A and B are shown apart, each in its own frame.
Chain A
């Protein structure tokens, strides 16, 4: 495959995907393609299924009790709702950043080292290198290198969210799922995290759920608009925000509804 190809080839394909919480259908026949090393934003009113879709991509929904699915999600040619799919491998490849920064009540170092300790039998020095690389990747290394053993919970909200991203990239995933990663942060911290997201997309495929339309416009290459569990429209962010094809999308992004 040539490099040009690989940008066009979607890395994630969602195919006729239905998801039910018990009797309630939260996703309806969703079809979408997500391109590698791009930022894809998922927008839509509260309760439309954005988090549900995101959590379907790393199968975190399996933890929510009575969940049934139909259809398929394919990551890099591998169907993840097939038999014999290894959940540990999947979640290593597809990592998740949560809405509230949620470091473990451990030191900064131990937080970043958590994933590598699970998956790679690293020596002490190799582990330190991974930690350094991960913290550098999120722009925390210079500040934190002298206090790696300080408790992670003593950091600011922004630093904690950066740390959570570092903890994630320490296991070298391909895809980063972010569920409203800035909603617990102030506007300046939000700017910084958005900056980081733009940097990260050179190496990772990023899917971000956001309530903030301006944020979707700023950080994403493609945007998907959901309503009541259905994908209404998806396309290049610029187009979605300037010339949406569907009336519903236009109403939502112009704030006439939502």
Chain B
């Protein structure tokens, strides 16, 4: 039996379309639902006030601020470490057993469940190093979680800088480090930054790593030092969804919307940087 080629074509097309819809439709449904229900909750008060009445009223300001601190702290720790590790691996380390082991380790680290990072952070930063449950511990934990992605993205960015740039620079008498700092890094930076923002924005939405390391159940005042606890949006969402009975659902939707918007803004920044520099890139 021979199937009509045109019929096959139609069936295949239909199946492919269906598969795409299966992916796209839920995304739009979720986004639509959150925006529709959450938008009503958004108000100046919601964004700038502390929660009141056992989190059943008021706003989510401390959680917004806490998440911003954590994003900033994560970037401060993860960016230099990630970039320097990538520079070492790409520009200095000769291909060897050790670098292959490091490669495997990085790939595997990227696949470790986030709760494991949380427990690791609890063990190392909170307990062993005695940082306590604090912004410091939380930022470090999130930084370690983001590192594999940042290192991988940075290495890709470094490797995409043409070898000839390095050769010219060295041939002009630049040292290795001058070549890296004046030629390689500037050209790789857009790629590095893009990857880093994506990694950190993912970290910003995680609950498990901050659960034991920084997040406060309810803390209406803002943190004063690195050693204070703070509230954070993902954990706050978890709390008001599971621990607070008789909560008006629009508060949950509103919190979700704010979290998603923050992440969206970071991701859009990354996309914008990438698009901007791709246009300018001429090699």
A139 on the B face (CB < 8 A): no
Which of A71-79, A96-104, A195-203, A204-212 participates in binding chain B?
A96-104
* Nearest A residue to B280, CB-CB: A105
Pair A118/B164 contact, Cβ less than 8 Å: no
A100-B164, A118-B178 are contacts. A105–B281 as well, Cβ < 8 Å?
Answer: yes
**SS class of chain B's interface: helix, strand, loop or mixed?**
helix
What residues on A are CB-neighbors of B283 within 8 Å?
Answer: 105, 153
B165 on the A face (CB < 8 A): yes
Pair B172/A167 contact, Cβ less than 8 Å: yes
* Nearest A residue to B281, CB-CB: A105
B167 on the A face (CB < 8 A): yes
Q: Tell me, rounded to whole Å, the shortest Cβ–Cβ distance linking B283 to chain A.
A: 6
**SS class of chain A's interface: helix, strand, loop or mixed?**
helix
B168 CB contact (under 8 Å) in A88, A89, A104: A104
Pair B168/A91 contact, Cβ less than 8 Å: no
Pair B170/A63 contact, Cβ less than 8 Å: yes
Pair B170/A91 contact, Cβ less than 8 Å: yes
A60-B171, A118-B173 are contacts. A105–B282 as well, Cβ < 8 Å?
Answer: yes
What residues on B are CB-neighbors of A92 within 8 Å?
Answer: 172-173
Pair A89/B173 contact, Cβ less than 8 Å: yes
A-B contact count (CB 8 A): 56
A105-B281, A153-B283 are contacts. A98–B173 as well, Cβ < 8 Å?
Answer: no
A96 to B281 alpha-carbon distance, docked (Å): 25
A168 to B183 alpha-carbon distance, docked (Å): 16
A136-180 at interface with B (beta carbon < 8 Å)? 151, 153, 164, 167-168, 171
Pair B282/A60 contact, Cβ less than 8 Å: no
A167 to B170 alpha-carbon distance, docked (Å): 13
What residues on A are CB-neighbors of B173 within 8 Å?
Answer: 88-89, 91-92, 115, 118-119, 171
Pair B187/A91 contact, Cβ less than 8 Å: no
B174 on the A face (CB < 8 A): yes
B99 on the A face (CB < 8 A): no
B167 CB contact (under 8 Å) in A63, A115, A118, A167: A63
A102 CB contact (under 8 Å) in B94, B165, B282: B165
Query: Chain A 88-122 against B: per-residue CB contact (8 Å), 1 yes, 0 no?
Result: 11011001101010101100000000110011000
What residues on A are CB-neighbors of B172 within 8 Å?
Answer: 91-92, 95, 114-115, 118, 167-168, 171
Pair B171/A96 contact, Cβ less than 8 Å: yes
Pair A88/B175 contact, Cβ less than 8 Å: yes
Query: Chain A 203-242 against B: per-residue CB contact (8 Å), 1 yes, 0 no?
Result: 0000000000000000000000000000000000000000
What residues on A are CB-neighbors of B187 within 8 Å?
Answer: 105
Q: Tell me, rounded to whole Å, the shortest Cβ–Cβ distance linking A113 to chain B.
A: 11
Query: Chain B 166-196 against A: per-residue CB contact (8 Å), 1 yes, 0 no?
Result: 0111111111001000110001000000000
A114 to B183 alpha-carbon distance, docked (Å): 10
* Nearest B residue to A153, CB-CB: B282
Pair B165/A104 contact, Cβ less than 8 Å: yes
A119 to B165 alpha-carbon distance, docked (Å): 18
Q: Tell me, rounded to whole Å, the shortest Cβ–Cβ distance linking A129 to chain B.
A: 19
Q: Which has the most chain B C-beta neighbours within 10 Å: A58, A89, A102?
A: A102
A65 to B174 alpha-carbon distance, docked (Å): 19
Pair A102/B171 contact, Cβ less than 8 Å: no
Q: Tell me, rounded to whole Å, the shortest Cβ–Cβ distance linking A169 to chain B.
A: 11
6 sample A-B contacts, Cβ–Cβ < 8 Å, listed by A number: A58-B171, A60-B167, A60-B170, A63-B170, A95-B171, A114-B182
Closest 7 CB pairs of A and B: A92-B173, A91-B173, A96-B171, A153-B282, A115-B172, A102-B164, A88-B173
B interface list, Cβ under 8 A from A: 94, 162, 164-165, 167-175, 178, 182-183, 187, 281-283
Excluding A88-B173, A91-B173, A98-B164, 18 further A-B contacts by CB distance (< 8 Å) are A60-B171, A89-B173, A91-B170, A91-B171, A96-B171, A100-B164, A102-B162, A102-B164, A102-B167, A104-B168, A105-B281, A105-B283, A115-B173, A118-B173, A118-B178, A118-B182, A164-B168, A167-B172
